[in-house]
Structure 1
Amino acid sequence: MARVRVRQHVNPLSQKYRTPIACPDWSMIYADGGRPLHLDIGCARGKFLLNLAQAQTDWNFLGVEIREPLVLEANEQVVHLGRNNVHFLFGNINIAPLLFLQALAPNLRRVSIQFPDPWFKQRHSKRRVMQPELVVALAQVLPLGGQVFIQSDVLAMAEAMGARLAEQPCFQRTHHDPWLAENPFSVPTEREIACAKLGRPVYRLLFEKSDSIT
């Protein structure tokens, strides 16, 4: 399969990406819709989830990506591998995030946001994936014990995401060290592999929902 070439950056505030994500009939997607669900936001080409879906067959996996050609490519890989526990959706997670996440309940158990576009300029901060509405929605929808994993090779980005999650009292870090030394899952992302080859540090945090929303 030819590797699709796409733009590295897209503006999530443009009109093209203002439509809420449409959920399919999950019974047509997953062989067992009752399995716990791992949502990867900004999944790019989906290699992380495709590998994890093969390693953890008792889980379902869903990737959301704003660049549609990558979603089409990833779903072609799902068919090629014959997997029935992983799927990919095109869309902007920050358009009606609560409505979308509620459509994943009650099976949603883990959420990962890995190496998001940092949008370094302050005037572009509204383009970042970790927006307040998304964090509030995660706090409302995830069950007790639900986890949010974040990582970035940009220290300021990791710190900003961690601070935003920590604003929600129900989310607590699962570790005392400032950063996790390793990815808690069994497979790395493509960016992690590239950073390791370059000797570039990666900043990781794992939060768990430890209290109910009142």
Structure 2
Amino acid sequence: MPRVRVRQHVNPLSQKYKYPVIPPDWSRIYANPNQPIHLDIGCARGQFLWEFAQLEPRWNYLGLEIRESLVEEANMIRDQLGLTNLHYLFCNANTSIQPILASLPTECLKRVSIQFPDPWFKKRHQKRRVVQPELVNNLADYLAAGTEVFVQSDIQDVAVEMCDRFSEHPAFHRTQNDWLTENPLPLATEREQSTIDRNEPVYRALFIAGNREQGTGNRGERTCLLD
């Protein structure tokens, strides 16, 4: 299938992206909405998730992406593959993460990944990076103890900044001080694989959410069913 052409970067601070998304009714999205959920923030074209959804059908997958045409394309591919445990949502994660987290079935979110986010190299643009203190605070409010948060980048400064922001929050602890030498997930993103193929480094870290006060948003009434 020909790939849709999009701009490489989108300014998340522009007026168009300031309004939070209204989450869908998850019972109409997933065949089994009470399966554990993997949330991928900044999923781009979504290939990582549609491969994962086929590999682990007893999980549900949710990809957030700010480029609308990529979301439309990804959901079309999902439908062609007949995957009922996968959904892509067009939104700005920084403004929409709270209502999304509040809407998910209680305790079902078990894994979060943030992989190769836009680096925004210029100092004046770094406020556009996705891992901001507000995003970390929202994740801390809603993630159950034991939830994994996996971050990685091929830009060391970006990876360091992501790790610093999670490490600074008492709700998260890093599993090891050094960079992970291997991806703890069974699949690699396209960007990760291309970086490895060029023999360039990937900077990875895994965080675990600890005990926290329950968020103030309206939580979903359904409870996650785990094996």
Taking only aligned residues, the RMSD between alpha carbons, in angstroms, comes to 1.2
2:187 is the alignment partner of 1:206? no
Give the letter aligned to residue 139 of structure 1.
A
Letter in 2 for 1:189: T
Q: How does 1:14-25 map to 2 (within 5 A)?
A: 14-25=14-25
Q: Does the Cα contact within 8 Å between 1:105 and 1:141 map onto a contact in 2?
A: no
3-state secondary structure, aligned to 2:94:
coil
Cα drift, residue 124 of structure 1: 1.0
Q: Aligned residue for 2:77?
A: 77
Aligned to 1:138: 139
2:4 is the alignment partner of 1:4: yes
Unmatched segments (≥5 aa) in structure 2: 215-227
Query: Residues 21 and 93 of structure 1 are in contact (CA less than 8 Å); yes or no, is this contact kept in structure 2?
Result: no
Distance 1:189 1:97 in 2: 22
Runs of 4+ in 1 over 6 A off after TM superposition: none
- Tell me the CA shift for residue 2 of structure 1: 1.8
The answer to whether residue 117 in structure 2 is matched with residue 116 in structure 1 is yes
Shift of 1:85: 0.3
Distance 2:104 2:9 in 1: 27
Structure 2 residue matching 1:95: 3-state secondary structure: helix
Equivalent residue runs for 1:178-197 within 5 Å = 178-197=178-197
In the TM superposition, residue 105 of structure 1 has moved relative to its aligned partner by 4.3
Alignment of 1:162 with 2:152, yes or no, is no
CA distance in 2, matches of 1:135, 1:113: 12
Are 2:205 and 1:172 equivalent residues in the alignment?
no
Structure 1 position 96, deviation (Å): 4.4
Task: State the partner residue of 2:42.
Answer: 42
Q: TM-score, normalised by structure 2?
A: 0.91
Q: Which has the higher contact order (CA 8 A, sep 6+)?
A: 2
Worse overlay, 177-186 or 125-134: 177-186
Residues 179 and 203 in structure 1, CA contact (< 8 A), matched pair in contact too:
yes
Query: Hey, what's the Cα distance between the residues in 2 that align with 1:191 and 1:88?
Result: 19
Task: Report how far residue 72 of structure 1 moved.
Answer: 0.5
Aligned counterparts of 1:197 and 1:69: Cα–Cα separation in 2 = 28
What is the identity, as a one-letter code, of the residue corresponding to 2:147? G
TM-score (norm 1): 0.96
Quick check: 2:110–2:144 contact (8 Å CA) kept in 1?
yes
Retained in 1: the 8 A contact 2:31–2:84? yes
Identity in percent: 55
Return closer, same or farther for 1:62/1:96 CA change in 2, 3 Å cut-off.
closer
State the aligned residue count: 213
Asked if 2 retains the 8 angstrom alpha-carbon contact of 1:53 and 1:86, the reply is yes
Cα distance per residue 1:60-116 (max 9 Å; x no partner): 000000000100010011011100000000010111432221112421111100000
2:34 and 2:105 in contact (8 A); partners too = no
- Whether the 8 Å CA contact 1:195–1:202 is kept in 2: the answer is yes
**Which sections of structure 1, spanning at least 5 residues, go unmatched?**
none
